[in-house]
């Protein structure tokens, strides 16, 4: 059985995970929907699980190394095969999106220098760009790196109402990130599939000052 380890991770049962992988490290390499148990722990934001599982998962693959920000492992893998910079995991995510999502700026910088495409969306229903991931990570520094490398500032995420990075930043009240996006040409006039603008998202989330700034950028105030 492989589901047991994922259930233990999801429930935060560190002791159960330790028992499951003791003497059976292959369990730590189990996969669900294409994601390894280690990546699943990363996705669930359970750092103690990540620390517990990692030794059993060495050597890390390009996706695990990118999600964990293991820059030396990422470099070694790219030295061996440069195409891994744009590889796609079974669950549809790529190294650049994973490094961006988990806030690993140095790893993002390395991947970009080795040819990772900042305009490539995840190959799953989310269709999330690395820039969307940077917004989710609340990382202005990573967003700046991605934009400088050519990330499309008005790309729409595939799932949900089709948010642009500016809409996502507005929804989350990220003033600095919103300003960065505006300076680099993000269009405040765009609306999502529900007809909502970035300003609407900001205002509905209680970020009135940001909403007013976005209205001004759109020429509405």
More confident residue, 30 or 94: 94
pLDDT digits (tens, 9 = 90+) for 89-109: 999 999 999 999 999 999 999
Residues 6 or more apart whose CB falls under 8 angstroms from that of 21 comprise 5, 27, 28, 52, 53, 56
For residue 221, what pLDDT is reported?
61
What percent of the chain has a predicted confidence (pLDDT) above 90? 86
Helices (H), the chain: 3-10, 14-21, 37-43, 47-57, 62-68, 71-80, 95-101, 105-113, 130-136, 140-148, 165-171, 175-183, 198-204, 208-217
Helices (H), 137-218: 140-148, 165-171, 175-183, 198-204, 208-217
pLDDT digits (tens, 9 = 90+) for 115-133: 999 999 999 999 999 999 9
DSSP category for residue 58: P
Query: Span 171-195, mean pLDDT?
Result: 98
For the cut 90, the answer to whether the pLDDT of residue 1 exceeds it is no
Measured CA to CA, the distance from residue 103 to residue 69 in angstroms comes to 8
Measured CA to CA, the distance from residue 31 to residue 179 in angstroms comes to 40
For residue 24, what pLDDT is reported?
79
Kindly indicate the confidence band of residue 2, based on its pLDDT and cuts at 50, 70 and 90: low
Query: Span 185-209, mean pLDDT?
Result: 98
């Amino acid at each position: 059985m492989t589901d047991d380890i994922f259930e233990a991770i999801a429930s935060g049962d560190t002791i159960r995970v330790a028992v499951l992988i003791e003497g059976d490290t292959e369990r730590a390499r189990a996969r669900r929907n294409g994601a390894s148990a280690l990546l699943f722990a990363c996705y669930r934001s359970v750092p103690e699980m990540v620390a517990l599982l990692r030794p059993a998962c060495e050597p890390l693959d390009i996706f695990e190394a990118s999600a964990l920000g293991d820059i030396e492992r990422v470099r070694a893998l790219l030295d061996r095969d440069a195409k891994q910079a744009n590889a796609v995991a079974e669950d549809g995510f790529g190294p650049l999106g994973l490094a961006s999502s988990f806030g690993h700026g140095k790893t993002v910088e390395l991947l970009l220098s080795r040819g990772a495409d900042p305009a490539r969306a995840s190959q799953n229903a989310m269709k999330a760009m690395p820039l969307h991931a940077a917004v989710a990570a609340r990382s202005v520094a990573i967003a700046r790196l991605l934009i400088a490398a050519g990330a499309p500032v008005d790309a729409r995420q595939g799932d949900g109402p089709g948010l642009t990075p500016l809409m996502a930043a507005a929804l989350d009240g990220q003033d600095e990130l919103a300003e960065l996006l505006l300076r680099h040409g993000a269009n405040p006039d765009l609306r999502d599939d529900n007809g909502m603008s970035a300003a609407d998202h900001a205002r509905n989330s209680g970020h009135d000052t940001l909403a007013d700034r976005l209205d001004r950028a759109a020429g509405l105030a």
